[in-house]
Amino acid sequence: MTTHVLSDTATLTGRSLRHILRSPDTIITTAVTPVALMLLFVYVLGGAINTGSDGSYINYMLPGILLITIASGIAYTAYRLFLDMQGGIFERFQSMPIPRPSVLWAHVLTSLVANLASLVIVTGVALIMGFRTGASVADWLAVAGILALFTLALTWVAVIAGLSAKTVDGASAFSYPLIFLPFISSAFVPTDSMPGPVAWFADNQPVTSIVNTLRALFAQQPVGNDIWIALAWCAGLLLAAYAAATAIYRKRIS
Amino acid sequence: MTTTARGPAITVRGITKSYKDLPVLRGVDFDVAAGSIFALLGSNGAGKTTLVRILSTLLKANTGTATVHGFDVSSAPGEVRRSISLTGQFAAVDEVLTGRENLILVAKLRHLKNPRAIADDMLARFSLTDAGNRRAGTYSGGMRRRLDIAMSLVGNPPVVFLDEPTTGLDPQARIEVWQTVKHLAKDGTTILLTTQYLDEAEQLADRIAILHKGTIIQNGTLAELKRLLPSATVEYVEKQPTLEDVFLTLVGQTAGEQSR
């Protein structure tokens, strides 16, 4: 049965990618909120924000916007997984000789592709709005790698939500706090402008280290320790969410 | 996949299953002969679906053993899955995909050669060719059920489970499903179906088992079951058409194989 893991995962991924192609609005709606936030922050609030750095404000806040894009995009994974289980198709797959992990991995890989598309749209709008970077190809690859790892980690969190939700609303509601998290980080304002306890939280939550790393890569500055803290957060979250999701999955299908 | 197991296609021995403190199956035993149609008759909540889910490896029994096509459901679930198909109570079709894409998907997942040709063949067999390129979400209940069963039969699994295959269908769609089931059995497929409709069991099944409150209370052929009651007394009754006869005549459907 193991010989078919890859081909079955590919077949099932093709299926859910087709779902996205037939409802491209899921990509658009994922991009709309971050773009709106970007417009709000750059053209309304940005003028009053002192980041302490000399680049334009859009250069400062794009990393945070990209993370918000991912946080809102992964909700669709929970949603699609939940709908699969509601309908009979999930049981059909379970009663067929398909390697069990393939069903989940198909949704996760689809999430990677869909979020990549949304990220490209948001970055494109940012470029139109004046985002500039001198990042090299290697820098861009590093940015893409970190964003992919972050997407993967959050998607497995979404899998947990999709597997354990009781209603459609519940399946997607879990992502609201995730979307909110970048606001209490270095994504929009420097953390040293915040009161003590808030600044402490902001400095020690995953978003800040990821945002700082992306910002440094875009600005071609040394990433310092932040990249290791960012990678550790992503890897840790990925492993924990993956373990929890597969445990819940196994419980559900036995 | 076409090799037939020796002995019964399905054996069930002492299967029990409880959800928390609520016993659903209290020790179920029966055999299903290869190539026969076996109907599990019972009212809602009798445990029919639970039993089908155990036999199709979706659920584990608390105690007891069951084999399907010669393979133990708990120790060789992979082999069982290769030998069966399950058509659940709710049509398991992907509504976003077209009918053809649904069939191709299943053919690919069963690693068959030429998935497209298989899909076209199935569409023709289930009179869905014209609807093949439409999304399954736009299908009527009967078409959806036909697509559902067609998907289950891709790859010709030797054992087919049909869990309440005609619940919620209109009379015509119901007769179509019955004809499909009869054709399958003629070709040597073993079929276990659950139903709460007495006439469905009477129409289709070689053997009927009555599942009541988690145990089989009777198991036999239709003739054997009828013999359980006192022999018939002869009465003269004017032969009235059933409402089904009237309905089918009015909508212009020939009853076909349905004639009793």
What's the angle, vertex CA A201, arms to CA A200 and CA A204, rounded to 5?
Answer: 85
Report the 10 Å Cβ neighbour count for B52.
24
pLDDT average per 10 residues of sequence, chain B (260 residues): 62 90 89 91 85 90 91 90 87 91 94 93 90 92 88 91 86 85 89 89 89 87 79 73 77 52
Share above pLDDT 90 across residues of chain A, in percent, rounded to a whole number: 39
Report the 10 Å Cβ neighbour count for B45.
11
- For the question of whether the overall pTM of this predicted structure is more than 0.90, the answer is no
Instruction: Name the token pair of B61.
Output: 């029994």
Residue contact B86–A4, C-beta within 8 A: no
A6 at B interface, C-beta within 8 A: no
Share above pLDDT 70 across residues of chain A, in percent, rounded to a whole number: 98
Give B-chain residues touching A11 at CB under 8 angstroms. 105, 108-109
Task: Give the up-direction half-sphere exposure of residue A251: CA atoms within 13 A in the CB hemisphere.
Answer: 9
B118-122 long-range contacts, CB within 8 A, separation 24+: B118/B154, B122/B150, B122/B151, B122/B153, B122/B154
Lowest mean pLDDT, pick from A105-119, A192-206, B57-71: A192-206
Q: In sequence order, which residues have a C-beta less than 8 Å from that of residue B181 and are 6 or more positions away? A: B37, B162, B165, B191, B193, B204
Instruction: Name the token pair of B91.
Output: 């049509």
Q: Where are the domains of chain A?
A: 2-43+52-253
Query: Where does residue B127 rank: exposed (0-12), middle (13-18), buried (19+ CB within 10 A)?
Result: exposed
Residue contact A11–B109, C-beta within 8 A: yes
Q: How far apart are CA B239 and CA A179, in angstroms?
A: 71
Q: Which of B58, B88, B97 sits opposite A18 (nearest CB)?
A: B97
Q: What is the chain A residue with the closest CA to B137?
A: A87
Give B-chain residues touching A76 at CB under 8 angstroms. none
Interface test with B, best of A23, A84, A92, A110 (most B CBs within 10 A): A92
Lowest mean pLDDT, pick from A41-50, A174-183, B99-108: A41-50
Per-residue CA distances from A113 to A13, A52, A100 (Å): 10, 35, 21
Instruction: Name the token pair of B258.
Output: 């349905």
How much of chain B is in helix, strand and coil states, percent to nearest 5?
35, 25, 40
Q: What is the chain B residue with the closest CA to A102?
A: B109
Residue contact B111–A94, C-beta within 8 A: no
Residue contact A15–B94, C-beta within 8 A: yes
Q: Write the single-letter amino acid at B55.
A: L
Query: Where does residue A225 rank: exposed (0-12), middle (13-18), buried (19+ CB within 10 A)?
Result: exposed
pLDDT at position B132, please? 92
Residue contact B60–A19, C-beta within 8 A: no
Give B-chain residues touching A81 at CB under 8 angstroms. none
Q: Which of B85, B88, B109 sits opposite A88 (nearest CB)?
A: B88
Check: CB of residue A161 under 8 Å from CB of residue A174: yes
Q: In sequence order, which residues have a C-beta less than 8 Å from that of residue A71 and are 6 or more positions away? A: A154, A175, A178, A179, A181, A182
Helix (H) or strand (E) holding B86: strand B84-87
pLDDT at position B3, please? 47
Lowest mean pLDDT, pick from A60-64, A172-176, A210-214, B225-229: B225-229
Mean pLDDT of chain A: 88
Beta-carbon contacts below 8 Å between A and B: 65
Question: What's the per-residue H, E or C state across B1-29?
Answer: CCCCCCCCCEEEEEEEEEECCEEEEEEEE
Residue contact B93–A88, C-beta within 8 A: yes
A3 at B interface, C-beta within 8 A: no
How much of chain A is in helix, strand and coil states, percent to nearest 5?
80, 0, 20
Task: Assess if CATH 3.40.50.300 describes domain B10-90+165-258.
Answer: yes
A254 at B interface, C-beta within 8 A: yes
Residue contact B58–A253, C-beta within 8 A: yes
Provide the angle, in degrees to the nearest 10, between the axes of the packed helices A137-164 and A226-253.
30
pLDDT at position B258, please? 44
Q: Write the single-letter amino acid at B161.
A: F
Q: How far is A165 from chain B (nearest CA, A)?
A: 20
The DSSP secondary-structure symbol of B140 reads -
Lowest mean pLDDT, pick from A113-117, A174-178, B12-16: A174-178
pLDDT at position B253, please? 59
Residue contact A22–B96, C-beta within 8 A: yes
Split at pLDDT 50, 70, 90, the class of A66 is very high
Residue contact A15–B86, C-beta within 8 A: no
Lowest mean pLDDT, pick from A115-119, A137-141, B236-240: B236-240
Q: Tell me which residue of A12, A135, A143, A169 sits closest to A70, measured CA to CA.
A: A143
> Between β-strands B215-220 and B207-212, what pairing exists: parallel, antiparallel or unpaired?
antiparallel
Q: How far is A249 from chain B (nearest CA, A)?
A: 12
